[in-house]
Amino acid sequence: MDETLDLRGLKCPLPALMTRKALARLAPGTMLTVQADDPMAAVDIPHMCHGEGHAVEGVTSRDGYNEFVLRSGSA
């Protein structure tokens, strides 16, 4: 089951840490949509994903926040 994680209002490093925790509990291949408005999330979340074997399927700038579409890996 695909999930959405709304992390708007949280500041670095919480968005990346909470995204890591969410991806770790998901089955490989599960999609996770993350919404974050912290500017550092645009760097931290993709960096964390690449380092831990998760895929960044897309990043979209919305009105005041970024939306990350991630696919959990086998990490």
Question: Among all residues, which ones are annotated catalytic?
Answer: 12
Scanning the chain, the segments in alpha helix (DSSP H) are: 14-25, 41-52
CB contact set of 23 (below 8 Å; sequence gap of 6+): 32, 49, 52, 54, 70, 72, 73, 75
